[in-house]
Structure 1
Amino acid sequence: MPPVSGTPPVDPFAPARLGPLRLRNRLIKCATFEGMTPEALVTDDLIEFHREHAAGGVAISTVAYCAISPEGRTDRHQIWLREAAVPGLRRLTGAIHDEGALAAAQLGHAGAVANSTSNGAKALGPGAIPAPMGMSLTHKIGLDEIPALRTRFADAARLAVDSGFDAIEVHCGHNYLLSSFLSPLLNHRRDAYGGSLVNRARLAREVLESVREAVGSGVAVWAKLNMYDGVGRPGPGRGPKPWRGFNVDEACEVARLFEADGHLDAIEPTAGSSLLNPMYLFHGAAPRASFARAFHGPMRAGLKIGGPFFLKAYPYRDAYLLPLARELRAATALPVILLGGVTDRASMDLALAEGFDFVAMGRALLREPDLPRRIAADPATASKCVHCNECMPTIYSHTRCPIRTGELPDPVA
């Protein structure tokens, strides 16, 4: 809820409630794909990754990315939720719980971001749109296929709860499947799932309903919702509609629809498009050469040529998504999780003073998993993250901070 004038400041390290959950503080380790599941199953490396973050002081560690089906993965090395994954996931959630934190599973379907060649299955979309990772076009989801899609989300959510997860994050961002339906640039359907914003939001709302029905009231559910795809203007559309991506005004309307539906405990606003403008989410340097080296063949050549156009650099500043998220914060009474450039006590205090209920941390924790504990002990603690974004290309092998591992020199050492 927005702050009430005259209320005392909120302590980010005090216990808080998120839906049915009691959290030890207001810090959430956001979903950052770990690249540690080569057989699409949990590994010891993945368990240690999240155990270390839980031990570092966050209240929730979010496991990314848990696909609802084989074709919903960005490639075949990602976990997809099926019975075979449950034993490993139980070990993972148990390790997180042993450190005093809670576990969240990020559920989603990659849509056009999926690699159909790697997955051996056609990528899905609101229409036949380019799926660059597989050098193909997506299969347009038919009206008769939507009930099965909802069932897959529900089944995946139930498996996550059976695996010990305390919370579910449903991915409605970055032009993954649900986000692509929201986008007027990608969704040109003329049926009940296209055209008006209410129609474009229909699939996401139905999925959230199915997930909530599957997990009941004892599990926290939130949505990661794009505020701006990074295409066109972030505010109201100006110019021809086909050239405008999803924007913050539409995001505010969708947030109000989500709130009215009553299936969510919170919203985590995000931005950028894995299809069209991925760096808008991250800000900071754009490590184009490192990205190109992470691929082979046509993708490497394409990134070398098109890198300056696809991987744009945006100046970094703390809490860089706050200006957009502030608008969404004012639009809904749902708890809101601020993501983007939260690296120190000052940015945490700023977010909570503006009425955000929780803060999410990502890249700074790759450099220093124990950063929350150290900030709690000394509010003047500064993050060592230099926003070089060299961690991003490592998601294709083993997600890490190359400065922490010594693969790159520390520019401030």
Structure 2
Amino acid sequence: MTTTVPDPFAPARLGPVSLRNRVIKAATFEGATPDHVVSDRLIEFHRAVARGGVGMTTIAYCAVSPEGCGTPNEIILDEAAVPGLARLVEEMHGEGAAVSVQIGHAGAVAAATGHRGLSPSRIFSPLAMRFTRAVTPDDIRRITHDFADAARHVATAGADAVELHFGHGYLISEFFSPKLNKRTDEWGGSLENRSRFARQVASAVREAVGDRLAIIAKLNMADGVPGGLWLDESIEIARLLESDGSLDALELTAGSSLQNPMYLFRGEAPIHEMARVFPQPIRTGFKLFGSRFLPTYPYEEAYLLPYARQFRAALSMPLILLGGINRRDTIEHAMREGFDFVAMGRALLREPDLVNQLRDGTSDDGLCIHCNKCMPTIYRGTRCVLVPVPPRATT
């Protein structure tokens, strides 16, 4: 029996949502919300990719509480954020694109913003040069409630989807990690225990929003560090999440903002560019020792595909392929391999209209060279450094 391969540029369903195509703008923190609410600059950022043809754009990263911020200028999803989000959603819908909002708690990564930083077990945060605090069962109940409340705010704003951040060394993925989770209670030890928090959050969010939103989870396949989460366990976590029925799709990712960011990004490591955004003496230290935190991994097209194939073979739920997707033939290949959607990040920073170009056949390949010099720009407004800054963006 032959299986029909979907056209990536034709309309598709994601849970209760209809998208105009199967290309999603991946969550790339925009650095455009210094007041923790939607700004005009954020709307313009997403308007560019919406006009450029994506089926859905993702607002990122939005903290479920002040203590969950991973950087000082993130949206905090409380009632004050709703009017701005509603305005953004209306603008993107006017451009024909759906809107997803990524929500999460940064956990130990939040220690870099002046918070104590929370983690499954007490660990030393190299980002803040101090120890985190192990969460209590009361913390877990409170944070689960914060996720549900944040999702309600997303639904109230009229968005189409919510993306639960279960990756990149943020709090939920720290619970998955045998390296970071040394608990001996019901939240640690066995794989079932280490996945309990994620499953509880997904269930609470589904109960909170019902079928008003598509619910996606961004799940680490591997942390990229010895002793961390790897495929054997992450596939089993994905099976548990699928069996619960709370999610409409999984977006497959890797790496850790806490331990190994370059495992996600691949390509050049922008050590000197990153050092320049830090004050002294951190700047000098980063120049000298930054290669330990930002090791270089060779870039190749669709570099997460070999890992993601293992999930496609193990699961029946919709999957979103992420990681170095720049070419039309890569997108078509992902559809042939059974992936339902693809997510593009850096390629759309370089060319916000790339999806239209690929659809129309005016280009088969994006211009992004994966220099990763966009990474340090998150502190002042995420952008591709090869794209000239409009005069109004400098004020």
Shorter-chain TM-score above 0.5: yes
Task: Specify every segment of 5 or more residues in structure 1 that has no aligned partner in the other structure, as ranges.
Answer: 233-243, 408-413
Tell me the CA shift for residue 130 of structure 1.
2.2
Structure 1 CA distance for aligned equivalents of residues 130 and 154 of structure 2: 31
Partner of 2:36: 40
Partner of 1:222: 216
Q: Where do residues 204-353 of structure 1 align in structure 2 (5 Å cutoff)?
A: 204-232=198-226, 244-353=227-336
Match of 1:275, SS state, is coil
Structure 2 CA distance for aligned equivalents of residues 100 and 108 of structure 1: 26
Q: Where do residues 156-171 of structure 1 align in structure 2 (5 Å cutoff)?
A: 156-171=150-165
CA RMSD of aligned residues (A): 1.4
Tell me the CA shift for residue 267 of structure 1.
0.3
Aligned: 1:127 with 2:121? yes
Tell me the CA shift for residue 8 of structure 1.
3.3
Structure 2 CA distance for aligned equivalents of residues 9 and 162 of structure 1: 35
Structure 2 CA distance for aligned equivalents of residues 71 and 245 of structure 1: 24
Q: What amino acid maps onto 2:19 in structure 1?
A: L
Match of 1:146, SS state, is helix
Tell me the CA shift for residue 145 of structure 1.
2.3
Structure 2 CA distance for aligned equivalents of residues 144 and 73 of structure 1: 19
Partner of 1:141: 135
1:185-224 superposed Cα distances (whole Å, 9 cap, x missing partner): 0000000000111110000000001111111112100100
CA contact (8 A) 1:114 1:131 kept: no
CA contact (8 A) 2:264 2:323 kept: yes
Tell me the CA shift for residue 380 of structure 1.
4.5
1:235-276 superposed Cα distances (whole Å, 9 cap, x missing partner): xxxxxxxxx100011111001000110000000010001111
Moved more, 144-153 or 219-228: 144-153
Aligned: 1:154 with 2:158? no
Structure 2 CA distance for aligned equivalents of residues 55 and 8 of structure 1: 29
Tell me the CA shift for residue 74 of structure 1.
1.1
- TM-score, with normalisation over the residues of structure 1? 0.92
Q: What amino acid maps onto 1:262 in structure 2?
A: G
Structure 2 CA distance for aligned equivalents of residues 83 and 299 of structure 1: 36
Aligned: 1:114 with 2:110? yes
Q: What amino acid maps onto 1:131 in structure 2?
A: S
Structure 1 CA distance for aligned equivalents of residues 5 and 149 of structure 2: 41
Structure 2 CA distance for aligned equivalents of residues 89 and 124 of structure 1: 27
CA contact (8 A) 1:75 1:115 kept: no
Match of 2:90, SS state, is helix
Tell me the CA shift for residue 40 of structure 1.
1.2
1:131-181 superposed Cα distances (whole Å, 9 cap, x missing partner): 333322211111122211111110011011111211000000011000000
Structure 2 CA distance for aligned equivalents of residues 353 and 191 of structure 1: 43
Q: Where do residues 78-97 of structure 1 align in structure 2 (5 Å cutoff)?
A: 78-97=74-93
Structure 2 CA distance for aligned equivalents of residues 115 and 155 of structure 1: 23
Aligned: 1:200 with 2:163? no
Match of 2:76, SS state, is coil
Aligned: 1:17 with 2:13? yes
Q: What amino acid maps onto 2:135 in structure 1?
A: I
Structure 1 CA distance for aligned equivalents of residues 368 and 93 of structure 2: 27
Match of 1:297, SS state, is coil
Partner of 2:4: 8
Partner of 1:104: 100
Q: What amino acid maps onto 1:93 in structure 2?
A: V
CA contact (8 A) 1:66 1:80 kept: yes
CA contact (8 A) 1:51 1:99 kept: yes
CA contact (8 A) 2:155 2:212 kept: no
Moved more, 46-55 or 129-138: 129-138
Q: What amino acid maps onto 1:87 in structure 2?
A: P
Structure 2 CA distance for aligned equivalents of residues 38 and 133 of structure 1: 20
Partner of 1:356: 339
Q: What amino acid maps onto 2:195 in structure 1?
A: A
Match of 1:39, SS state, is coil
- TM-score, with normalisation over the residues of structure 2? 0.96
Q: What amino acid maps onto 1:91 in structure 2?
A: R
Tell me the CA shift for residue 328 of structure 1.
1.1
Tell me the CA shift for residue 76 of structure 1.
2.6
CA contact (8 A) 1:228 1:272 kept: yes
Match of 1:105, SS state, is strand
Identity of aligned residues (%): 55
Structure 2 CA distance for aligned equivalents of residues 305 and 180 of structure 1: 28
Q: What amino acid maps onto 2:283 in structure 1?
A: R
1:299-322 superposed Cα distances (whole Å, 9 cap, x missing partner): 323322221111011111111100
